[in-house]
Structure formats: structure tokens, C-alpha cells
Amino acid sequence: MCSKVILFIADGMADRPVKELGWKTPLEVANKPRLNQMAATGISGIIDPIAPGIPPGSDTSTFALLGYDPIKVYAGRGALEAMGIGLDVKPGDVAFRCNFATVDEHMTVLDRRAGRIANEDASGLSTTLQKIKLVEFPRTRFTFKNAVQHRAALVLHGAGLSSAVSDSDPESVGKRVLEVEPLERTKAAKQTAHLVNTLAHEFHKALKKDEVNVERIKRKLPPANVVLFRGAGTVPLVSSLQDRFGIKPACIAAVSLIRGVSKVVGMDLIDVKGATGTPQTDYMAKARAAARALSKYDFVLLHVKATDVASHDGNAKLKIDVIEKIDKMMGYLLDTVDMESVYIAITADHTTSLLTRNHEGDVVPVAIAGPEVRRDDVTEFNERTCAKGGLHRLRGFDLMSILMGLIGKTKKFGS
């Protein structure tokens, strides 16, 4: 019989001991019998997603947990976001994450999210922007698309482009929009910076007079009169998971960054109604979709963002609540899938500290349950107990080899 794998990544779920929780972590405090069952019936360990002490991004860590060396493959966030919202990014293209924002007449940022503009308004504005012609740059095309609320992405298509350019986003209110600068002394970097500055100017001109913004001002809403650019990136050239392991992989994730990473490595994206990437996501709908996906796929990445959101907000109670919902998802999976042929792994892509509200470089816990794992003595799933597990301390990119080894998808070296 053919074995399959579910890899469950809870974004930023790992934490440091917190004073308000009696110097325990949210994982230690939460009521999570099914995550504990994973540890008790499986093998546990700890993972350095990137390297000891290095705070991972969700993009770099997800690459690592999918078996890619993040140092080698990472080429910026822009292209991943753009692919994650459905844009086509080809080798040579350069992509940016974008925000609709509000500026005053001096280009000083008043609101980095244009009042978290509604999707319909952003969509109307995007249609306007896409019509702009790059008269000065006949060899370059662009695609601009809005995502949820103020979020959007820009892809530059053409030759002679470079991702070595700075951001126009000043990252805080009260500061002026920045000029994009080349970060290398190359013609491509200079040209790309010039191109983005030109686009920024044309976008601003068009947005100011757009009917959508005229209406917003009437409704006392901040006009989305500028687009901020950041995270210039290209698409990494990697072998797909199919080619490397001969598996059919799928991803269930709401956030565009993880969707982008998954697309780069050749996974099918499964859309789930009600999955939002927020603490209000439909947790159980995602769990059901993951269990269902096993009928068609060998490997399912199941990603939940809300633990990270709670940590970035410094909200311990919410983080514990989300962990308890993740526990119910795991319960559904353990009760539904055939645990004599399916391996389930649970981990976090990084530590997000409730105290610092940032990603931190601490190790994350991992547990793998399934028919033929060498069960260890760990009976609880958290940062401290998993450190005593049979997997010991792994690098992020080792996890996928271990999972693929369990289902016979790694190639023998030697004879």
C-alpha cells in the first residue's frame, strides 16, 4: 500500500516562556490532547528552520520545511506574494509586494493601508492602474493585481530587469514615500529603479483623480492615492517536489506568501471556502480539505496562519485559543485518516514571541506520527518536551527527507 504524508505547519506557533503565563509557553498552557497524542504515539524533536539563532521568515522556513536549502533558493518575497495571488512570474521577471496607501500633498504617508480599503474599491483602482502604458520602456510590460484589502502585487515582465532595488515603502506613517534606489551598480538595477519610480509617479497621478477615490473622499474614507512597493524578488529556479521525490503534492494555505512558495515547488493549491489566514478562518474546513486531499495527493501541506497573527499582536489568550482550535483540527485528522498508511507531522515555521512580537531564531518543536515511526518517550507536544524526543535537533531542510524516507520516496545513495 502506498503511504502518504500530511505536513501541518502552524505559523509562528512556537514561543518563549512568557511571564503572564507563569513562565510557560502558549503550547504548554493550551489544552491540546490531540497534539499530545501526536507526540505520545510518534517521534518528536526540535528544528532549526534556518540555522541556530536565525529568525526565519515564513517564506524561507517553508522552503526549508519542504526540503529546500533556503540559503540557496531564496530570491526575495515579491515574486512569492505575486504567485500566491495568482500572478504569473517567469524567470527574469521582477515582482513587488504592494500596498494601497494614503498620502498628503507632500507624499507623506497618512495611512499605510488606505483605511484597510475594501476589496471592491481596490479592484476598481487596479483596473485603472493596469491600463497605464509604459511609454518610456517599450521592452517592459507590467501586471498589477490587488489581493485582500490594501494588499497587491506588481510584476515587471521583460529583459534587463533586476531585483536589486530598494523599497518605496517607508514602513511607517508620517514619513515620505521613498525613491526606489538601485542596490547594485548594474545597468539592470538602475533601469529597474527608474522604471518603478516612473510607475509610482504614473500610479499616483491616475489614483488621485480616479472615480473610486473621489467617492471614498465623499464617504469620509482615506483615498488610496498611492501604491507603495517593497520586497523586490525573482522566482527561484528549483526542481519540483514531483521531480525530486516522485510525489503528487498539494497545499492548503490562505496566505499568499505560503501559496507562492508552494507554487514555486510545484504544489497544486487547494482553495478552501472560509479559509482566510486570520484567527477567524474556518479551521475545520481546512482540516476536512486536507483529509479529503489524500485521495488525490501523496503529500499535503496544511498551513494555519492565525498563531502568528496572535503573537504579532502580543495576544496570549488568542494564541492559546488558536492552538486549541489547531488541536481540534489535528483530532479530526487523527480520527479520519488511515493511520496505518498515513504519516502526519506537526511543526511551526518559526517562533513568534508574544513578548517581542517578532519572529525569533529559537528552535521549533516537531512530532511525526504514523505506522512505522520509532516511537519515543515524549507524551506532550511543546517546545520543552519535544527537545527530549527521538529525532533530536534537525535542520529545517532535513524534515522533508525524513518524511519522504518514511514513505519510501528518497533514493538510495550507493548500493
Phi, psi of 343 (to 5 degrees): -100, 135
Q: Which cell numbers in the block locate residue 350? A: 518559526
How many CB atoms neighbour CB 351 within 10 A?
A: 25
Which range in 117-125, 174-182, 267-275, 377-385 contacts its own copies by CB under 8 A?
377-385
What's the closest the beta carbon of residue 109 comes to its own copies, in angstroms?
Answer: 20
What's the closest the beta carbon of residue 66 comes to its own copies, in angstroms?
Answer: 13
Nearer to its own copies, 293 or 406 (CB): 406
Tell which one of 204, 312, 328, 388 touches its own copies (CB under 8 A). Answer: 388
Rounded Cα–Cα distance for residues 223 and 71 (Å): 40
Of 93-112, binders to its own copies (CB under 8 A) are none
Give yes or no for a contact between 61 and 13, defined as CB atoms under 8 angstroms apart: no
61 binds its own copies (CB under 8 A): yes
Q: Which cell numbers in the block locate residue 362? A: 529559537
Tell which one of 12, 84, 170, 231 touches its own copies (CB under 8 A). Answer: 231
Nearer to its own copies, 27 or 330 (CB): 27
Tell which one of 92, 246, 274, 405 touches its own copies (CB under 8 A). Answer: 405
Closest CA to 77 of 301, 239, 261, 252: 261
What's the closest the beta carbon of residue 415 comes to its own copies, in angstroms?
Answer: 4
Nearer to its own copies, 224 or 258 (CB): 258
256 binds its own copies (CB under 8 A): no
Tell which one of 32, 77, 112, 305 touches its own copies (CB under 8 A). Answer: 77
Rounded Cα–Cα distance for residues 68 and 25 (Å): 29
183 binds its own copies (CB under 8 A): no
Which range in 5-13, 84-92, 264-272, 388-396 contacts its own copies by CB under 8 A?
388-396
The C-alpha angle with vertex 233 and arms to 232 and 237, in degrees rounded to 5, equals 175
What's the closest the beta carbon of residue 290 comes to its own copies, in angstroms?
Answer: 22
Q: Which cell numbers in the block locate residue 404? A: 519522504
**Beta pairing, strands 4-10 & 299-304:** parallel
Tell which one of 376, 380, 381, 396 touches its own copies (CB under 8 A). Answer: 376
Quick note: the x/- pattern for its own copies over 35-54, rule CB under 8 A, is -----------x---xxxxx
Phi, psi of 38 (to 5 degrees): -55, -45
Task: List all residues 6 or more positions away from 250 whose beta carbon is below 8 Å from its beta carbon.
Answer: 267, 268, 269, 270, 293, 296, 297, 299, 300, 301
Nearer to its own copies, 360 or 380 (CB): 360
355 binds its own copies (CB under 8 A): yes
- HSE of 40 in the Cβ direction (CA atoms, 13 Å)? 9
What's the closest the beta carbon of residue 231 comes to its own copies, in angstroms?
Answer: 7
Rounded Cα–Cα distance for residues 308 and 306 (Å): 5
Nearer to its own copies, 133 or 374 (CB): 374
Cα dihedral 174, 179, 182, 188 sign: positive
Question: Which residues pair with residue 303 across a beta bridge?
Answer: 9
Phi, psi of 296 (to 5 degrees): -120, -20
Nearer to its own copies, 16 or 328 (CB): 16
Which range in 177-185, 215-223, 307-315, 385-393 contacts its own copies by CB under 8 A?
385-393
Task: List all residues 6 or more positions away from 164 whose beta carbon is below 8 Å from its beta carbon.
Answer: 182, 183, 184, 186, 188, 189, 192, 232
390 binds its own copies (CB under 8 A): yes
What's the closest the beta carbon of residue 343 comes to its own copies, in angstroms?
Answer: 12
Kindly give the residue spans of alpha helices, DSSP state H, lying in 252-341.
256-264, 283-293, 306-312, 316-336
What's the closest the beta carbon of residue 308 comes to its own copies, in angstroms?
Answer: 12
353 binds its own copies (CB under 8 A): yes
What's the closest the beta carbon of residue 387 comes to its own copies, in angstroms?
Answer: 4
Contact residues toward its own copies (CB under 8 A) are 16-17, 23, 25, 46, 50-61, 70-71, 74, 77, 231, 257, 353, 355-356, 358-362, 372-377, 383-384, 387-388, 390-394, 398, 400-406, 408, 410-415
